[in-house]
């Protein structure tokens, strides 16, 4: 039985207000249902107010008491060659996807005054991240585990908090930095899961990788839109934002093919590789 704050029912018919309500939902399954509900409502009505100044009435993001959040160095890393180790790895991926749902919903409600396509793009991301989370949780259950069984860290949401006042910084440092690292990390993770004989996990990772290329592309596209709007050069601005927010530069190896498909330019990839060589 869902308690207060866990209901998946969305009271608002307007997309940005509905996204704020969904972000506050605590229970992960209820949050997935809320995303599906608001997505269906928006498809039916198209109700969107890009100019509304919204204020949260509940703590954000809504999330369960477990997993316990710890420093990244304390998150358990186990070999995927055992069932328990595979469960720990898939739990880490599920936690990333749960945070990614919250990040997409946060982008929708938090940043007013952008084109309608910005909000519909991030709704698409939220819907796909919800699917990824559900697929991973379902497979965790097959392995005798559940979301919340392992410790996790809060790196993605911490960056969301740091960039809450600036959509340009959000696009630069979440999809283009942190989520793009997922493009780099996916091939070795996939290889480990394949070597462990977990065909279903490989299938799920392939779905996630396909969609994540599109999510990073959305981040790239709106980052460049905001750079043009503000008269800023994209490559130099990215590195300036890393310094401004005290964020370590990304390190290789990079999945260049996936990054190209996600819209990174040759100049951006050259800068990444130069930094990896000298950073």
pLDDT number for residue 99: 96
Both tokens of residue 138?
């379902």
Q: What angle do CA 59, 64, 65 make, to 5 degrees?
A: 100
Terminal-to-terminal C-alpha distance of the chain: 51
Q: Where are the alpha helices (DSSP H) in the chain?
A: 15-24, 28-45, 83-110, 116-142, 155-162, 167-173, 180-195, 199-230, 234-244, 256-261, 266-278
Q: What Å distances lie between residue 47 and 39, 40, 106, 204, 266, CA to CA?
A: 11, 11, 18, 33, 38
Interior/surface letters 17-46, b for 16+ CB within 10 angstroms, e for the rest? bbbbbbbbbbbbebbbbbbbbbbebbeeee
How far is Cα 258 from Cα 183, in angstroms, rounded to an integer?
Answer: 6
Q: Are 169 and 163 in contact (CB under 8 A)?
A: yes
The per-residue pLDDT for range 226-238, each reduced to its tens digit, is 999 999 999 999 9
Q: Are 88 and 78 in contact (CB under 8 A)?
A: yes
**Any idea which fold 81-278 has?**
Ferritin (1.20.1260)
pTM (predicted TM-score):
0.94
The residue extents of the domains of the chain are 81-278
Q: What Å distances lie between residue 70 and 31, 151, 177, CA to CA?
A: 23, 7, 21
**Top-confidence residue, 174 or 73:** 174
Q: Does position 150 have pLDDT exceeding 80, yes or no?
A: yes
What pLDDT band is residue 277 in, cutting at 50, 70 and 90? low
How far is Cα 202 from Cα 193, in angstroms, rounded to an integer?
Answer: 6
What pLDDT band is residue 7 in, cutting at 50, 70 and 90? low
Q: Does position 5 have pLDDT exceeding 60, yes or no?
A: no
The per-residue pLDDT for range 177-222, each reduced to its tens digit, is 999 999 999 999 999 999 999 999 999 999 999 999 999 999 999 9
């Amino acid at each position: 039985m869902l308690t207060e704050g866990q209901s998946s029912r969305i009271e608002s018919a307007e997309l940005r207000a509905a996204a704020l309500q969904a972000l506050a939902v605590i229970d992960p399954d209820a949050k997935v249902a809320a995303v599906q509900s608001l997505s269906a409502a928006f498809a039916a009505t198209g109700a969107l107010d890009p100019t509304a100044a919204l204020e949260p009435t509940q703590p954000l993001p809504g999330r369960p008491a477990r997993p316990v959040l710890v420093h990244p160095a304390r998150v358990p890393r186990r070999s995927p060659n055992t069932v328990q180790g595979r469960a720990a790895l898939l739990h880490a991926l599920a936690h990333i996807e749960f945070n990614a749902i919250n990040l997409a919903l946060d982008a929708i409600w938090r940043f007013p005054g952008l084109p309608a396509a910005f909000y519909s793009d991030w709704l698409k991301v939220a819907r796909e991240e919800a699917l990824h989370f559900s697929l991973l949780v379902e497979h965790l259950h097959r392995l005798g585990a559940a979301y919340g069984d392992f410790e996790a860290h809060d790196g993605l949401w911490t960056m969301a908090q740091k960039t809450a006042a600036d959509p340009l910084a959000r696009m630069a440092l979440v999809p283009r930095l942190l989520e793009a690292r997922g493009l780099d990390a996916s091939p070795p993770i996939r290889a480990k899961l394949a070597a462990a004989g977990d065909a279903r996990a490989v299938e799920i990772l392939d779905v996630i990788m396909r969609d994540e290329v599109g999510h990073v592309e959305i981040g790239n596209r709106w980052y460049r839109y905001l750079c043009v709007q503000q008269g800023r050069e994209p490559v130099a601005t990215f590195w300036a934002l890393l310094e401004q927010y005290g964020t370590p530069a990304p390190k290789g190896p990079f999945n260049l093919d996936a990054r190209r498909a996600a819209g990174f330019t040759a100049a951006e990839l050259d800068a990444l590789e130069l930094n990896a060589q000298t950073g």
